[in-house]
Homo-oligomer: A and B are copies of this chain.
Amino acid sequence: MIESDELLSIRAAELYYEEDKTQDEIGSILALTRWKVGRLLAQAKASGFVRIEIVHPRARRLPVERRLRETCGLADAIVVSTSGVEDQDELQSRTAQAAADYLATLRPVPRTLGISWGRTLDDVSRHLHDGWAGGVDVVQINGGVSLNRRAGTAASTAVTIAQKGGGHATLLPSPAILERLETKRAIESDRAVSAVLDLASNADAYLFSAGAADATSVLVDSGYLTSDDVAGLVRRGAVGDVVGRYVDGAGAIVDERLDERTIGLPLESLRAAQLSIAVIAGAAKHAVARAVVASGLCTVLVTDEETALHLIENHPSVPDSEGQRGTA
């Protein structure tokens, strides 16, 4: 009879969800009391026979968000639906939109927001709506002067976010990575730079993304690193970069020498922050996302469903510096 109950619950679910019948009506169709029908329906839902999905570019996945928050100990998690996503761009765009939405609904509104730069952040800036905040000061947290045609993207990201938020942007007037340690120390001690870094380290909130450890990285594209450099980092365990710094699966700096030449907020400041929002989407970034979450670099993660499920399944709370390398 357990078998026939299952079948009945399917028939009931069909009538209830597809034909919009009332439980009472279903009762008389299937010759059952309406209470039995109610229980059958509950059973069908509990057994997962009834799948309810919300299909919309801006739909989120609340149950996944909850699981992600819980298994990864995040303060908050925003997971966008991947259903109906056609390409990588669509996914990026949806995630950026969600990040923008999240930023706009933050209460209290941060007075100072530290941001990194890159493709993702730029996307977020474009998806924000005018007046998303009543006066935010935006400050760059890592070196933002590009070496090539892309110059200006980093600046425009910051400026856009600030303008739309009714505040102004403070740029970090420095390259991301210097060639010599001495130059880095020199530039870092320059008031124009150190003042910005001070401001950055006192921001109310941080918003940053992460890059995958491969040749498509903005750091390669901007000329700071060569593909070979990145390949070398990967060999040493790098899974991606966070605000310009390459980390391994456990979120530790891969190459101290390189890191010392990198200008920007140290990762420890992100870890210590009250509110730091990471925006990371796409299969290529699963490994970095895991490192970011596992090592506590963010308190809030905005990501896509697939990445979220990957994180949940791979319990990032038990980091493993081997593992995920090369998943991209």
Contacts and interface: CB of A to CB of B under 8 A. Distances in A.
Interface stretch (A7-15, A172-180, A215-223): A7-15
Interface stretch (A46-54, A140-148, A224-232, A240-248): A46-54
A96 to B, nearest CB: 16
Interface residues of A, number: 25
A35 interface: no
Given A18-B63, A19-B62, A61-B18, A53 B53 contact: yes
A44 B55 CA distance: 10
Contacts of A61: 18
Nearest to A57: B10
Counted per complex, copies of this chain come to 2
A35 B50 CA distance: 26
Contact of A54 (B50, B53, B56): B50
B18 A52 contact: yes
Contact of A62 (B7, B14, B51, B54): B14
A69 to B, nearest CB: 13
A74 interface: no
Interface in A11-55: 13-15, 17-19, 44, 48-55
A51 B56 CA distance: 10
A58 B11 CA distance: 9
Given A10-B58, A13-B54, A50-B52, 6 more contacts: A10-B59, A14-B54, A44-B54, A48-B55, A49-B55, A52-B53
